[in-house]
Structure 1
Amino acid sequence: MSETAQTAVGKVTIFFERTTRTKCPLTFKVHGTFEGLPPGMQVIRYRLVGTEQWKSFKVPSNHGGVFTTVLETLDWDHETGRTSVQIELGDGLTSNALYYFECGGPGEGETFGTTAEDIPLTAAGGPLVELVADAYLDAVQAASGAEVALVSRYGMWRGLDTGPVTYQELRDTQPAGLHVDVAAVTGAELKRLLAYPGPKGWVLTPSAGLRYTVEGGVVTEITLNGAPVTDTQEIKVAANYVLMGGGQGFPAWDSTTVFLGGPDDRGALASYLAKNSPVQAPQGDRVTIR
């Protein structure tokens, strides 16, 4: 097969891995996962959307229908003027878009996916904070193996209205612009964190796979992807680094670092909304307090 040949790809998804600790300037890797590949060795042609240069790489014959590789390593600073990255394949198929906002704001009038209905922010967090938790997990799961994400309602100002999502709405959900990291905790430590009441009595909000009940200041029921969580099992949890370190009104985590390469929280939410539009409101029922 020639280097310029293009094979059929059913789906391409890109994900983000930051390799510097600073918000800006930063260096990050763009990983690509290619699904639906035919058998045998393949050659994939791609380019970054908005650029002219085409590149190619070989997929080995034992790919098993799915292949993941690092496509680009990019350096952004305040002069770069970029807030998103997306790739296009030689057959016209495009990937999802990844957003990162800590090196500059988006263009005036730019929107980031759409909501199919209002996604409200309640006193305890509700549907909006559940959506943010889902976005955190989606942003880092492929690179880190994270199983769940936790989010505090602290500092969020408003929900999302029906329709296109503006940058101002993203800022109102997470004004601090914090990076998403991943740490491993035991089931017992996770229960301790979840039982802790925040500044106004609210507790932490999980992504979709985790459900728990707090009764009398103790977690009495907890499941991850439908299975009960034991005290001794190790769980990889995504959250912003301030929450992990004991900020936002919650205690510091007794944990082991797994991954420090996630995007900023606003970028994670924008990427999730654009990838899954139109987005429905979560039910707001992952946590029960008695």
Structure 2
Amino acid sequence: MSKLNIVFERTTASKCPVTFDVHGYFEGLPAGAQTIEYRLVGAQEWKTLTVPAKRGVVHRAVLETITWEWAPDSRDYAVQIEINQPDGLRSNALYYFKCGTPPSDETFGVATEDITRTASGGPLAELAADAQLASVQARSGAQIALVNRYNVKADLPAGPIGFEQLWNAQPAGLAINVQTMTGDQLKKLLATPNPAGWVLTPSAGLRYTLGGGEVLSMTLNGVPVTATQEIRVAGAWSLIAGFDGWPRWEGTTTYTSGPDDTGALATYLVAHSPVPAPAGDRVTIQ
């Protein structure tokens, strides 16, 4: 086996205590039926997963169901899986900070340059949108994510990123949900005037141009979005619910089991470090 990705899926509505499933996505498995030994990093006992001979290129399975409760000095904030094979393969690490916080010396990757905010969102909001999409895409089928400038509070400075810098940048810890809407509904949302003059910042696949109080053009992965096209859009629950100067999103709620946005950002930074600043050019205002 060459790669294991794990993702977080809450099975309780509460932030803490929280119960969540750890889904594993296995790549590069040899042909035929087999067993895989795995365990949580730090655990003593190996567990066994039986993999059938008939499967897709990527095999998915629930590896753990975990419950965390808040306690002073809790170290329940990170999950990683290791595989019992000669190369000592480990999965990516997942972070969730509503029930525990890391020690002050723990870092979450390195920023190669300052990752800043602008009046319309800018590079930091784009990074947060990419992180939110990555955190729920595998389980929800989300295609894009939107971030409100209000929820990115401070720039990320160049260099090692510790919990203080991470918390300063995105402290709310809002659960990430997914809404399915049409192209027209999405354009209407993006064109809504915000009292603070902000716009919604998208993840990398979406680009749009605003002018005269409307969306003049919008593409998803380089292809123009049609009026009736259905798009699964991730966002913090408060943004979807219609807070911070934005209307409640139209469409249909698709997924409500994502991690918190602070944890999603930490997970993304660790997986992609060293992290450059996005260009900050996904929204054009004429």
TM-score by length of 2: 0.96
User: Aligned equivalents of 2:250 and 2:56: distance in 1?
Assistant: 39
User: Aligned equivalents of 1:239 and 1:28: distance in 2?
Assistant: 19
Deviations 1:77-103 (A, max 9, x none): 013531100000002100000000001
Which residue of structure 2 aligns with residue 16 of structure 1? Answer: 8
Which residue of structure 2 aligns with residue 112 of structure 1? Answer: 108
Which residue of structure 1 aligns with residue 119 of structure 2? Answer: 123
Secondary structure of 2:149's counterpart equals: coil
Instruction: State whether residues 104 and 162 of structure 2, in contact with CA within 8 Å, keep that contact through their aligned partners in structure 1.
Output: no
User: Aligned equivalents of 1:65 and 1:253: distance in 2?
Assistant: 35
User: Aligned equivalents of 2:205 and 2:195: distance in 1?
Assistant: 25
Instruction: Report deviation, 1:148.
Output: 0.3
Structure 1 residues 146-165: aligned runs within 5 Å: 146-165=142-161
Which residue of structure 2 aligns with residue 76 of structure 1? Answer: 68
1:89 to 73, 83, 91: 83
Whichever residue aligns with residue 19 of structure 1, its letter is T
Regions of 4+ moved over 3 Å: none
Structure 1 residues 46-57: aligned runs within 5 Å: 46-57=38-49
Which residue of structure 1 aligns with residue 200 of structure 2? Answer: 204
User: Aligned equivalents of 2:20 and 2:151: distance in 1?
Assistant: 27
Instruction: Report deviation, 1:74.
Output: 0.3
Which residue of structure 2 aligns with residue 4 of structure 1? Answer: none
User: Aligned equivalents of 1:204 and 1:181: distance in 2?
Assistant: 16
1:239 to 208, 224, 235: 235
Q: Does 1:227 pair with 2:223?
A: yes
Structure 1 residues 190-201: aligned runs within 5 Å: 190-201=186-197
Q: Which runs of 5 or more structure 1 residues have no equivalent in the other structure?
A: 1-8
Q: Which runs of 5 or more structure 2 residues have no equivalent in the other structure?
A: none
Q: Does 1:65 pair with 2:61?
A: no
Q: Does 1:174 pair with 2:184?
A: no
Whichever residue aligns with residue 33 of structure 1, its letter is Y
Whichever residue aligns with residue 199 of structure 1, its letter is P
User: Aligned equivalents of 1:253 and 1:161: distance in 2?
Assistant: 33
Instruction: Report deviation, 1:197.
Output: 2.6
* Aligned pairs, number: 282
Whichever residue aligns with residue 187 of structure 1, its letter is G
Secondary structure of 1:154's counterpart equals: helix
Which residue of structure 1 aligns with residue 245 of structure 2? Answer: 249
Query: What percentage of residue pairs aligned between the two structures are identical?
Result: 57
Which residue of structure 2 aligns with residue 277 of structure 1? Answer: 273
Q: Does 1:215 pair with 2:211?
A: yes
Whichever residue aligns with residue 45 of structure 2, its letter is Q
Instruction: Report deviation, 1:155.
Output: 4.0
CA RMSD of aligned residues (A): 1.0
2:264 to 268, 272, 284: 268
